[in-house]
Structure 1
Amino acid sequence: MSRGVPPEEAGKSGATNGAAMRITPVGVAFPDTPLEPFLDRVAEACQVTHDTSIGIASASAVAAAVSRGIDGGDLEDAVGAAITAAEAGAERGHWVAGADIAARIGWAVDLVRGLPERQALDRVCDLVGTSVASQESVPAAFAVLALAEGEPWRACLLAANLGGDCDTIGAIAGAIAGAVSGASALPDDALATLRSVNDLDLEPLAKALLALRADTAA
């Protein structure tokens, strides 16, 4: 854009996981139903960097899962909302070649179901993939989320042990698990460490996003 490229053209090749990684505030601020207006918000947030079918599908999945959790949905509800949103989100933006995000989320979740933790993580690394490609790291985050059974701290720890783009996978899985389980599910000592080390005051921002959500729903 600094070179004069219009916003609708700037992100026409972005298919990595950056939009999915940063989309959580949209999921907090807006309800995922009705779906099309919600996807308008997601696509708007993706436009400058990830205005592609894969970029928007990935971000739609994460935002919808977070939003469903904010509304009181459980883990199954959140994953279902993610798949539905990814299917619809893939119809937006510039088409780029790549595996179907919605299908890969469902496949990745099924892939780790009922497995011991170490075997499940090996499957995520070896079969799902943990690179910056959306079609790897976003389904991987949902697999981790399922393996952690929606527990946010466990989801973050499992993601951290994957390797690859583990910070993004942890950010996505942790955000969805946090939305589903609530802040009370996080260990007090971990929260205290995060606050002291990062010097971030996120509570006012979270309250502002929730206020925006309330205004939208009114």
Structure 2
Amino acid sequence: MRAKDKILGALYGQAIGDAMGMPTELWPLQRIRRKFGRHITKFLDGTEDNDIAVNFKAGEYTDDTNQAFAILDALIETNWKPDSKVLVKHIMKWADEVGAWTNNILGPSSKAALRAIRNGEDPTDITREALTNGCGMRISPIGTLYEPEQLDQLVQMVYDVTKITHSSDVAISGAAMIAGAVTAAMADYDWYDIVDFAIKSNDKGFTLGAPTWAAHNKERLEIGIDLAHRYAGDDDSFSRAIYNTVGTGTSISESIPAAVAIAYYAKGVEKSAIVCTNLGGDTDTIGAMATAICGAKVGAENIPDSWKKLIDEKSPQHNIHDLADKIVAFKA
């Protein structure tokens, strides 16, 4: 059963994890500690010494969620039948509006693929070698469209919306891992089964992508789950172990397994968002993915009203409740 509260939980979770992780984006752990101290527990403005976050204010989400919602807008326009040209149109429109080409907002794989498309070139050579995490940061809403028994349709939709910028095996599998985790969380699976379904989704997605030499998401996730058990109840030790072992960089096979492992460890929106922003590395992207999974599991009613209100106030370009209504109406 795809309940609206669970859909809202996933959408707000995506936005909250993104917005809270924004000020520390792509900083090493030591720099975060020097600038912000031990623990960030609230939304903060981007600071002048972070050239990616500098233009963002507390509670504003970044390219991760803007692209996620642009994809939803594109699918709604085409009655949920993915059309690459329409998907690109919506992402390009957002990129042009925010100056993403010059303001260090777009990720490297997406920027290269979209630039090729803009120049009338075939982006395939770029997309099939894309190993950065733009494929996963914007995919969580796709998981809200399906129920677990619709695995084949879920993974096909992931492929159709991801291939415009990322079509490598590790990209499709990583995006499917995140979307699958959201689908299972929406169905209120227990956390062991959420991970299992995410792995099944990953494995099916892997067969659709172009072969690469990249480390596999599945094996990295298994390490992350082991770390979650080893350091249960010790947020600092768990976070440090993920940072040092699984990795928290922009590569797919670091950030996506890290996000699922953090969701499994945190099990709630507030804890997930706080762990991710203090993590080091690609904090907003990992936060968006992990916290979307947690939001899908616990539902919007278990997210602080003040957090949801701040997201709505700071990013009025999207009406999250309206998007949720349209997702509820979707029939696979």
State TM-score, norm by structure 1.
0.91
Does the aligned pair in 2 maintain the 1:112–1:123 contact within 8 Å?
Answer: no
If each structure's helix is expressed as a fraction of its own residues, which one has the higher value?
1
Distance 1:8 1:72 in 2: 37
1:209 equivalent in structure 2: 327
1:167 equivalent in structure 2: 284
1:179 equivalent in structure 2: 296
- Alpha-carbon offset, residue 42 of structure 1: 0.7
- Alpha-carbon offset, residue 211 of structure 1: 1.4
- Bigger Cα displacement from structure 2, 9-18 vs 132-141: 9-18
**Match for residue 143 of structure 2 among 18, 27, 37:** 27
Query: Aligned letter for 2:138?
Result: R
Q: Does 1:113 align with 2:229?
A: yes
Larger Rg: 1 or 2? 2
Does the aligned pair in 1 maintain the 2:178–2:260 contact within 8 Å?
Answer: no
1:124 equivalent in structure 2: 242
Question: Could you say if the C-alpha distance between residues 40 and 8 of structure 1 is closer, same or farther in structure 2, counting changes exceeding 3 Å?
Answer: farther
- Bigger Cα displacement from structure 2, 192-201 vs 169-178: 192-201
2:134 equivalent in structure 1: 18
Question: Could you say if the C-alpha distance between residues 7 and 34 of structure 1 is closer, same or farther in structure 2, counting changes exceeding 3 Å?
Answer: farther
- Any idea what the Cα deviations from partners look like across 1:100-137, whole Å, max 9, x if unmatched? 11121122111121411111111011111110001111
Does the aligned pair in 1 maintain the 2:139–2:178 contact within 8 Å?
Answer: yes
Alignment of 1:74-113 (within 5 A): 74-113=190-229
Q: CA RMSD in A?
A: 1.6
Does the aligned pair in 1 maintain the 2:181–2:194 contact within 8 Å?
Answer: yes
Query: Aligned letter for 2:178?
Result: V
Q: Does 1:157 align with 2:248?
A: no
Percent of aligned positions that are identical: 29
Q: Does 1:137 align with 2:240?
A: no
Distance 1:185 1:114 in 2: 27
Distance 2:121 2:142 in 1: 25
Structure 2 unmatched ranges of 5 or more:
1-116
- The alignment of Structure 1 onto Structure 2 pairs a total of residues equal to 213
Distance 2:161 2:195 in 1: 21
- Alpha-carbon offset, residue 10 of structure 1: 5.2
Structure 1 unmatched ranges of 5 or more:
none
RCO greater where, 1 or 2, for CA within 8 Å and sep 6 or more?
A: 2
Question: Could you say if the C-alpha distance between residues 14 and 209 of structure 1 is closer, same or farther in structure 2, counting changes exceeding 3 Å?
Answer: same
Does the aligned pair in 2 maintain the 1:151–1:178 contact within 8 Å?
Answer: yes
Distance 1:36 1:10 in 2: 26
